[in-house]
């Protein structure tokens, strides 16, 4: 069997895995039969299998929906980058609300975490690599950014496959790995011991440390903050329900090296008149009663670890519930205080409150008159256009901010530099950023599905 044949068969298996579980096994068998006919032409085999791998499935997203998803993920990455700049330019503590904003954006985005990681990693690479002139960021070259982006991509994909309670821990390890991979070159050049690698990620999020060179930490920070915010976005996406694995028909190879095929399909030459979703049959034993299997995880060490994790999770849930109770009580107290202020305070205070409410009401009326009702196409278009214009203006301001490289080098050292967005100096880059900003705004302001 040639490598092309094996590759094509693997592609078919991948393609079938994307289809609904009730039809994927039959489709795979059918495609493998057609592929066998094309065995003499490597090109045709690859075209046949390749087309099935990339094409939308029957119930999956269309090309248009895929484009929107990719634009949203890329836009979220740029949002993470812009927020990183804002945090560095103001106060490190703003990282907390920036994280909340990314989580909020993720709640409105409809995509799988795996898709998000797959799109965000190359966008992060573009942002970090093309957006940083070498003269300003000496350790933002290909040797720095590529390992960080690749390490983040691979480790995040692995982290997302972990059991749900362990995903945040696995994502934190992913950030550690990505930071280490991205800073190794700088560490070597600046004589920083690689043994201190586990500290690079936490120290890059804190104010300048005397333990590591400022330039080293400046570079690490420029990489880790967008990575951290992107990770928060990915973890905040709602995860799709797991689908059943595809049953791959067994192909055997005889000693002569030619493939042999199972004969089972031939024995069932029945026309299927209602394939529209017949429920899968429950399997019963000969006596007619369903059988149950015990979970082996409960009787081995892995089961004990799982039980410990469950206990930890239960404790964390209790703490969170208590925190929510305290917060609810605080909110109720604040509401009561406000209501009391409205009724008992001086006429001047009441006048200010009423004026503020009247102003807010008028603003809402005028905004609705200009942009249309919330969720209407006119409102959506206006907000999208406004976001695009704002994005272009931001690009221009960023360009101005990075013009003075001497001042920039100083600001990198004290963690206040605006980095990245170098591609935004080009009209095509600005157009791309504006398009992404508009798409992201449209997605965020879209009415929630009923």
Partner 1 sequence: MPPRMTASVLKVVAALLAARADERYGLQLMQATGLPSGTLYPILVRLERAGWVESRWEEADPAAEGRPARRYYLLTAEGAASARREVTHMTRSLLGEAPA
Cβ 160 vs Cβ 447: under 8 Å: no
**33 or 327: CB nearest partner 1:** 33
Containing 260, the helix (H) or strand (E) segment is: strand 259-260
- Nearer to partner 1 by C-beta: 16 or 192? 16
346 binds partner 1 (CB under 8 A): no
Q: Pick between residue 254 and residue 294 the one whose CB is nearest to partner 1.
A: 254
Buried b (16+ CB within 10 A) or exposed e, 411-436: bbeebbbbbbbbbbbeeebbebbbbb
Q: Does 344 bind partner 1 (CB under 8 A)?
A: no
Closest CA to 441 of 363, 379, 370: 379
Q: Is the dihedral of CA 276, 279, 280, 285 positive or negative?
A: negative
Q: Which of residues 144-183 bind partner 1 (CB under 8 A)?
A: none
How far is residue 15's CA from residue 3's CA, in Å, rounded to a whole number? 18
We find the least distance from the C-beta atom of residue 60 to partner 1, in angstroms, to be: 9
Pick from 8, 9, 52, 380 the residue near partner 1 by CB under 8 A: 52
Q: Which of residues 223-262 bind partner 1 (CB under 8 A)?
A: 249, 258, 260-262
Q: How many angstroms separate the Cα of 85 from the Cα of each of 23, 91, 223?
A: 48, 10, 11
Q: How far is CA 306 from the centre of its chain?
A: 26
**Does residue 271 sit in helix, strand or coil?**
coil
**276 touches partner 1 (CB under 8 A):** yes
**Which residues are CB-contacts of 158 (< 8 A; sequence separation ≥ 6)?**
170, 174
Of positions 3, 242, 277, 279, contacts partner 1 by CB under 8 A: 277
Contacting partner 1 (CB under 8 A), which of 198, 207, 265, 303?
A: 265
The DSSP output letter for 162 is S
Of the pair 194, 265, the CB lying nearest partner 1 is at 265
Q: Closer to partner 1 by CB, 22 or 446: give it.
A: 22
Task: By CB under 8 A, tell whether 46 contacts partner 1.
Answer: no
User: Based on CB atoms, which residue is closest to partner 1, 266 or 428?
Assistant: 266
Segment contacting partner 1 by CB under 8 A, of 42-50, 73-81, 214-222, 298-306? 42-50
Binders of partner 1 among residues 54 to 73 (CB under 8 A) are 54-58
Among 135, 274, 285, 289, contact with partner 1 (rule: CB under 8 A): 274
Cβ-proximal residues to 75 (8 Å cutoff; 6+ apart), any chain? 436, 437, 439, 440, 443
Query: Site residues for partner 1, window 103-122 (CB under 8 A)?
Result: none
What the block records as the tokens of 187 is: 């560490």
Of 269, 279, 290, 301, the one binding partner 1 (CB under 8 A) is 269
Closest CB to partner 1 among residues 33, 352: 33
d(CA 250, CA 120): 37
The alpha carbon of residue 250 and the mean position of all alpha carbons in its chain are separated, in whole angstroms, by 35
Measured from the CB atom, is 5 or 166 closer to partner 1? Answer: 5
| Closer to partner 1 by Cβ: residue 273 or 295 | 273
Stretch that binds partner 1, among 46-54, 343-351, 419-427, 432-440 (CB under 8 A): 46-54
Q: Evaluate whether 382 touches 372 at the Cβ level (below 8 Å).
A: yes
Q: How far apart are CA 248 and CA 28, in angstroms?
A: 7
Residue 9 engages partner 1 in binding (rule: CB under 8 A): no
Residue 409 touching partner 1 (CB under 8 A):
no
Spatial separation of the C-alpha atoms in residues 181 and 169, rounded to whole Å: 18
Q: Count Cβ atoms within 10 A of the Cβ of residue 172 and give its class: 0-12 exposed, 13-18 middle, 19 or more buried.
A: middle
Interface positions with partner 1 (CB under 8 A): 23, 26-27, 29-34, 36-38, 47-49, 51-58, 249, 258, 260-263, 265-266, 268-277
């Amino acid at each position: 069997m040639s490598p092309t044949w094996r590759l094509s068969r693997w592609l078919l298996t991948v393609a079938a895995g994307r289809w609904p579980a009730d039809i994927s096994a039959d489709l795979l068998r059918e495609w493998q039969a057609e592929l066998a006919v094309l065995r003499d032409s490597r090109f045709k085999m690859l075209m046949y299998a390749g087309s099935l791998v990339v094409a939308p499935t029957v119930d999956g997203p269309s090309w248009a929906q895929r484009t929107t998803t990719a634009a949203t993920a890329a836009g979220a990455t740029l949002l993470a980058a812009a927020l990183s700049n804002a945090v560095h330019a103001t106060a490190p503590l703003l990282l907390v609300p920036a994280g909340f904003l990314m989580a909020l954006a993720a709640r409105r985005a409809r995509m799988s975490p795996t898709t998000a990681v797959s799109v965000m990693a190359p966008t992060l690479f573009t942002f970090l690599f093309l957006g940083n002139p070498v003269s300003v960021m000496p350790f933002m070259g290909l040797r720095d950014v590529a390992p960080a982006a690749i390490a983040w991509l691979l480790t995040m994909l692995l982290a997302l496959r972990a059991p749900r309670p362990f995903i945040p821990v696995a994502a934190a390890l992913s950030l550690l790995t990505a930071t280490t991979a991205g800073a190794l070159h700088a560490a070597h050049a600046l004589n920083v011991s690689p043994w201190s690698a586990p500290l690079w990620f936490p120290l890059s999020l804190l104010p300048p440390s005397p333990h590591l060179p400022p330039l080293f930490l400046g570079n690490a920070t420029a990489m880790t903050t967008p990575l951290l915010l992107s990770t928060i976005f990915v973890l905040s996406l709602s995860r799709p329900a797991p689908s059943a694995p595809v049953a791959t028909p067994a192909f055997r190879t005889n000693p002569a090296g030619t493939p042999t095929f199972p004969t089972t399909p031939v024995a069932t030459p029945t026309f299927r008149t209602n394939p529209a979703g017949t429920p899968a049959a429950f399997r019963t034993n000969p006596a007619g009663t369903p059988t149950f299997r015990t979970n082996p995880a409960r009787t081995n060490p892995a089961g004990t670890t799982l039980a410990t994790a469950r206990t930890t999770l239960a404790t964390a849930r209790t703490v969170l519930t208590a925190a929510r109770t305290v917060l609810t009580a605080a909110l109720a107290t604040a509401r009561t205080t406000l209501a009391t202020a409205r009724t008992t305070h001086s006429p001047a205070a009441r006048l200010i409150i009423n004026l503020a409410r009247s102003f807010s009401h008028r603003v809402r009326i005028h905004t609705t008159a200009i942009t249309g009702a919330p969720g209407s196409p006119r409102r959506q278009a206006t907000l999208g256009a406004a976001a695009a214009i704002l994005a272009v203006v931001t690009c221009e301001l960023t360009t101005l901010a990075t013009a003075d490289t001497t001042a920039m080098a100083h600001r990198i050292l004290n963690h206040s530099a605006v980095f990245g967005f170098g591609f935004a100096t080009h009209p095509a880059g600005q157009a791309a950023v504006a398009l992404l900003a508009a798409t992201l705004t449209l997605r965020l302001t879209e009415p929630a599905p009923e």
